[in-house]
Amino acid sequence: MSRTPLDTVEHAAATPDVELPWAELGLKKDEYERVVEILGRRPTGAELAMYSVMWSEHCSYKSSKVHLRQFGEKAPESDALLVGIGENAGVVDVGQGYAVTFKVESHNHPSYVEPYQGAATGVGGIVRDIIAMGARPVAVVDPLRFGAADHPDTKRVLPGVVAGIGGYGNCLGLPNIGGEVVFDACYQGNPLVNAGAIGVMRHEDIHLAKASGAGNKVILYGARTGGDGIGGASILASETFDDAKPSKRPAVQVGDPFQEKLLIECTLEAFKEKLVVGIQDLGAAGLSCATSELASNGSGGMRVTLDDVPLRDSTLSPEEILMSESQERMCAVVEPGKVDRFLEICDKWDVIATVIGEVTDGDRLEIFWHGGKIVDVDPRTVAHDGPVYERPYARPDWQDALQADDANKLPRPQSGEELKDQVLRLVSSPNQASKKWITQQYDHFVQGNTVLAQPEDSGMIRVDEESGLGVAIATDGNGRYAKLDPYTGAQLALAEAYRNVATTGAKPLAVSDCLNFGSPEDPAVMWQFAEAVRGLADGCRQLGTPVTGGNVSLYNQTGEAAIHPTPVVAVLGVIDDVARRTPVAFQEEGQLLYLLGDTREEFGGSAWSQVIHDHLGGLPPKVDLERERLLGEILISASRDGMIDSAHDLSDGGLVQAVVESALLGDKGARLVVPDGLDAFTFLFSESAGRALVAVPRSEELRFTDMCGARGLPATRVGVVDGDAVEVQGEFALPLAELREAHEGTIPALLA
């Protein structure tokens, strides 16, 4: 893009008729005209580069802003919330002077183009968001969606993604404690690689992304800037893949976890010595983002000399340097008297660090190259005042027919033998089968503070060694439910993540989200998005769990085929003492199994309807968030007071899936009795929400049932932990050995 002579601000003002490649960089004609209006002249090539990446869908949220405002407008009161939406990650108070920061983001499109590096750099980017808040990263999670399990391309994408997540996270020394893996043909050309991270700090260590204090120095540190990922996530995630023509597919970023590990330790040492005024990681949009956001969030302007940026490739133009998304880089604002010490720490950790500019007392972001001024902008116009679209949206004309195609009317098993066969088919189906082949490639226990990890209902990390204070996190989302009803589907994702956290004994506190949808230019997709956001905002208000931040990923479609709307919700919870957590596995024979909540005929979007009938239709399960809150309170109290020894939420696959998982994890069977008023089929396969299965020691039965009765929560005794089979009285018995072979053999066979 470089031109001769140098395209300075002065040159741009004198040559208004020079044609710039705004369309090639992803800008619409009216957006380019808006840039010209803002500047009062045509932009320089460098300015155009900055506006193009910062006004991309991925960075500016231009199609989603009008809906995302609900998360602030409907936010519940929360004493725990310390930093909310707008920063690199949300921060919540977990007690004893500790704060926890967490966030979920997407790296979907890069992971399809180059699975290993796309997934690896997704982990690296979310971890840097956590560091930028002042926290030490302590764990990662990975909600994943792939195409059909038996599709040849899934064998290309899935192993690469898993290797990238494991390779990067393991090298950083961060345990992978949670997530999910879902297969569906709708994700065939658009896998969803969402990555989350958690960090821990003291309250006084919170840092924000702002550049304040005239004369303070701007220091770029970490890896050198290269040509990899120029416009990577920012442009790539803002365009639909198209089967008919080559799409924009810029070079995917390349990660170096060992460099990131040095960056973590270097940054934390600088924080400890209180050397940093403001900090920002370089993720999507690279230096364009870091400089404009730091300047716009601060109290002054910024002057940067681009010649001082350490390069891996000396041929890079200034536009390419500004757009590069090379990994493992951060920008810090440091007082002049502390610069030498900051550079010493960087040198100690073998991290390249260079002063590239300073904070000014003006209100402009000015960038120089070879002695000429190539950028002179109001940083807010780049970072915050991009386009805002009120995209047209409309309920799709096929929605009524989809909902009328009632899954409750599908043929059901007529005998115990048929029930047994369908249970085996369910637990061995790719979505319900064990994901051990995947999760065993991750280190769950590095650092020694992991208390619970996959396949538990939520991951759990010890925060304080002495008191046992800990935090739990669960991520959930069901695109099939959301396709049937996006409002309810989003609330079901929230309810499941909330329930998964409570099931382990932790109190849910706050939410992060990753909203994965198709093209916002399709009114039907935009309706799905609007409904999902509305549902999530309403649900968070009712449950008292504020949204602290997150990510929107749009254009997840190939040609006209969009993915199912997939809002992924992460819920963070706190537990006073991790020694009192509740695991999924059955612990002792003779313990009584209680089903908490109400079971109804609800099969719309269910695993049973998908596995047995390849069907998607009807309505998803109803949501009762007050019941979810009550169930959570009962589970937390029972865990704290020693009334239950194991617990498992009921969701995909219903009761039978939960029983099989708990039995196999504990290597103890279960004998079940169908309660009065229910048939065996509904009892086993219904996916009614607001339910959990708990194992109660006989000595605690009266205390536990009295508590449930006093609080008005239905608690039905449905069996006992016993034997070496899962038996439904009068229907069938399945030996654990047969169940284990079916449950654990599927994924290795598919990916062999």
The residues annotated as belonging to the active site are 58, 107
Q: Tokens standing for 676?
A: 């009065």
Question: Residue 77 carries which DSSP code?
Answer: P
Are residues 517 and 528 in contact, defined by beta-carbon separation less than 8 angstroms? yes
Per-state percent for the chain, helix, strand, coil, to nearest 5? 40, 25, 40
325 is an annotated ligand-binding site residue: yes
Closest CA to 318 of 288, 354, 274: 288
Mapped onto helix, strand or coil, the DSSP state of residue 38 is: helix
551 is an annotated ligand-binding site residue: yes
281 is an annotated ligand-binding site residue: yes
The residue assigned the tokens 């990131």 is: 260
Are residues 626 and 550 in contact, defined by beta-carbon separation less than 8 angstroms? no
Are residues 572 and 509 in contact, defined by beta-carbon separation less than 8 angstroms? yes
Question: Residue 356: which H helix or E strand, with range?
Answer: strand 352-360
CA 509 to CA 469: how far, in whole Å? Answer: 14
103 is an annotated ligand-binding site residue: yes
Length of the chain in residues, anyone? 752
61 is an annotated ligand-binding site residue: yes
CA 423 to CA 414: how far, in whole Å? Answer: 13
Q: Where are the beta strands (DSSP E) in 24-97?
A: 81-83, 90-95
Residue at 445: amino acid letter? F
Question: Residue 250 carries which DSSP code?
Answer: P
CA 355 to CA 220: how far, in whole Å? Answer: 6
107 is an annotated ligand-binding site residue: yes
DSSP 616-649: --S-PPP--HHHHHHHHHHHHHHHHTT--SEEEE
553 is an annotated ligand-binding site residue: yes
Radius of gyration of the chain (CA): 26
CA 153 to CA 168: how far, in whole Å? Answer: 23
Q: To 10 degrees, the CA torsion angle through 407, 409, 415, 420?
A: 0
Residue at 533: amino acid letter? V
312: Cβ contacts below 8 Å, ≥ 6 apart:
223, 224, 225, 226, 227, 326
CA 47 to CA 62: how far, in whole Å? Answer: 19
Question: Residue 320: which H helix or E strand, with range?
Answer: helix 318-323
Task: Determine how β-strand 561-562 pairs with β-strand 470-476.
Answer: unpaired
CA 44 to CA 163: how far, in whole Å? Answer: 41
Task: Determine how β-strand 646-649 pairs with β-strand 670-672.
Answer: unpaired
108 is an annotated ligand-binding site residue: yes
Are residues 495 and 630 in contact, defined by beta-carbon separation less than 8 angstroms? no
- Around Cβ 580, how many Cβ atoms within 10 Å? 17
Q: Tokens standing for 31?
A: 């957006």
Are residues 502 and 573 in contact, defined by beta-carbon separation less than 8 angstroms? yes
CA 251 to CA 237: how far, in whole Å? Answer: 12
> DSSP H helical segments within 648-713, as ranges?
654-666, 680-685, 701-711
Q: List 734's β-bridge partners, or say none.
A: 726
Q: Tokens standing for 5?
A: 């002579």
Residue at 529: amino acid letter? F
Binding residues: 61, 103, 105-109, 128-129, 253, 281, 325-327, 513, 550-551, 553
Binding residues for Mg(2+): 105, 129, 281, 551
Binding residues for substrate: 106-109, 128, 253, 325-327, 553
Binding residues for ATP: 61, 103, 513, 550
